[in-house]
Structure 1
């Protein structure tokens, strides 16, 4: 089969889709990445995947840009005659599906929904309208343009109408060469964190994400502050590996991050390329999000390495924790619950919890499970 994988950003393709593209190629399929021209096309080509880059800034939300993006997609689809056109994320899904339907009528169209985002988090007239538009667009894609919708959790399926033909494939898996059991501890990294940032010998929490307010970081920082204030001899460290998104109105500011960094035990590292090493030297992965996630990649990475997780009872997160056997779920926006959970986890056998995390990952979220389910979807008539 000739398969197009269409992503919102080249960086996202390189970080989240490359392994899947290589899996398809290894199984004898002709795979083409279709991504914006954001500096990653050469890296994707260098990894062995044919790439078509579109010179349109998809993050610009004006109508002219959207028409330009749709026009470029139409040209590509008419020329390439793909058997499968697999879109990821909202803009490619919604803009690309009708384009693909009319430009390449023989192509099977996939809408892969990797989370519903801020529109399904906030409650106001504006966001109610946006939710209605998004739901209508996806249902139109499914009913009129014959798109196969794939979601990452059951709550999102229900939110969009719970149609029988909607599929749930949990997560996108992670790079299991990097994120795996048995990684050696990076002593140089530990020394850097101790000598440069003042990391102590106590339990270390790690948070990895874009620094959006809905990711719950402010509640986590306050929870760590309260815990360390009340446990002078049993303090915890919090490593924050994240990046500010200045194009997003819900992003934290530099001033916010400076205030967080002043809290005892909090270590802000910025955007890092050694997330596997950071998770490996940490004890608990924490994501207290109230954002509508699909299935958070960071938590899957932590589970693949064998770490317990502390997260919220939110769609996309709550199916990762099983009966408190590999971590704890708390209610979103609840600092007191986070503080209590940190104390509870600090007294439990973290190695045992982490072993359960790894088993859950292998059985439900691994590359073997996810990639084969997606391939089965392509082959299904």
Structure 2
């Protein structure tokens, strides 16, 4: 079969979907990738994919501006003529599905997270939700990454109930993110891994750090992730530089391999406002690291309070600071147990093989029907 995989970056395909791509190629499928070109595009081609460049801005949501994507994707799909299209992330899900529907090509969508359209109450959000409702009528299957998102879409009649299914995020490669031997740093080290936008709870993390420093808590506070000042909810570069200059955080920049940074930390923190299934938390738990995350959909499926980490209240820097203080004060045995529990949770619930097998099964059903 000719299968198209459509995302907002080639980087995303290579870093989060490559084992799935390899599984498709091993089964003899012809894999076409559709995404903006970046330094990972050539790696997709080298692996055996046929790549199609598309212009797509992953920042923000402007339905009027983004509607041009329908035309562009329509042209790509018409030329390619895939047997099935797999969409990931918001814009491919919405605009790609509309383009595919005009060509009567079956699609499988994956709702990786709800994005800001469900966090805001404005005209753009209303239009975006309407587009979900229109486009998802044409999807043969829609995978959700947590039951809360699935329930929300079904309850609001944004997707037919017959089409929905659940997968544990993009899954985690248990052989890549291996459990690490317990080791506590002399100075307890917190690490937040995230793009620097407000929805990830960056401002709450900074406020919590300020409170802990003022209270005399002896710890290191790190941030790993890309600055994105052009994003609608991005944090200005000069603001981040101020945090660095004032010694509030250690900014670690960006990396192609987070494992060394996870290994060097004692606890991973993500005070996000809402997630599908946060990749960084899967990676941390698989690596046997304790976690502090917000008690919101997505995060609270990966982190069970007082089992493999602690949950804090949404947009509450005081509560986050309390949880961080509590974590830093825990005995080694408790921290070690949290890490071990997280690894077991990943092995039993979040293995990447579960996700790959679900997709392969879905594709085989399309093959039988054709």
Would the TM-score normalized by the shorter structure come out above 0.5? yes
Alignment of 1:1-381 (within 5 A): 1-46=1-46, 48-59=47-58, 66-67=67-68, 69-103=69-103, 105=104, 107-123=105-121, 126=122, 129-143=123-137, 145-162=138-155, 163-165=160-162, 166-182=164-180, 201-231=186-216, 235-262=218-245, 266-290=249-273, 292-346=274-328, 347-348=330-331, 349-380=334-365
Q: Deviations over 1:245-298 (max 9, x none)?
A: 1321211112221232245562111222331110011111100111x3211111
CA distance in 2, matches of 1:375, 1:50: 17
Could you say if the C-alpha distance between residues 287 and 24 of structure 1 is closer, same or farther in structure 2, counting changes exceeding 3 Å?
same
- State how many pairs are aligned: 356
Report the 3-state secondary structure (helix = DSSP H, G, I; strand = E; otherwise coil) of the residue aligned with 1:255: helix
CA distance in 1, matches of 2:341, 2:236: 37
Could you say if the C-alpha distance between residues 329 and 323 of structure 1 is closer, same or farther in structure 2, counting changes exceeding 3 Å?
closer
Distance apart, 1:76 and its partner CA: 3.1
CA distance in 1, matches of 2:65, 2:197: 28
Is the Cα contact below 8 Å between 1:224 and 1:236 reproduced in 2?
no
Distance apart, 1:64 and its partner CA: 6.8
Distance apart, 1:221 and its partner CA: 2.2
Distance apart, 1:179 and its partner CA: 1.9
TM-score calculated relative to the size of structure 2: 0.87
Distance apart, 1:147 and its partner CA: 3.6
Report the 3-state secondary structure (helix = DSSP H, G, I; strand = E; otherwise coil) of the residue aligned with 2:233: coil
CA distance in 2, matches of 1:156, 1:252: 27
Could you say if the C-alpha distance between residues 309 and 155 of structure 1 is closer, same or farther in structure 2, counting changes exceeding 3 Å?
same
Is the Cα contact below 8 Å between 1:183 and 1:280 reproduced in 2?
no
CA distance in 1, matches of 2:129, 2:169: 21
Q: Deviations over 1:290-346 (max 9, x none)?
A: 1x3211111111111111110001111111122420001111111121121112222
Is the Cα contact below 8 Å between 1:225 and 1:263 reproduced in 2?
no
Distance apart, 1:373 and its partner CA: 1.9
5+ residue gaps, structure 2? none
Moved more, 281-290 or 54-63: 54-63
Is the Cα contact below 8 Å between 2:196 and 2:227 reproduced in 1?
yes
5+ residue gaps, structure 1? 186-199
Distance apart, 1:237 and its partner CA: 1.0
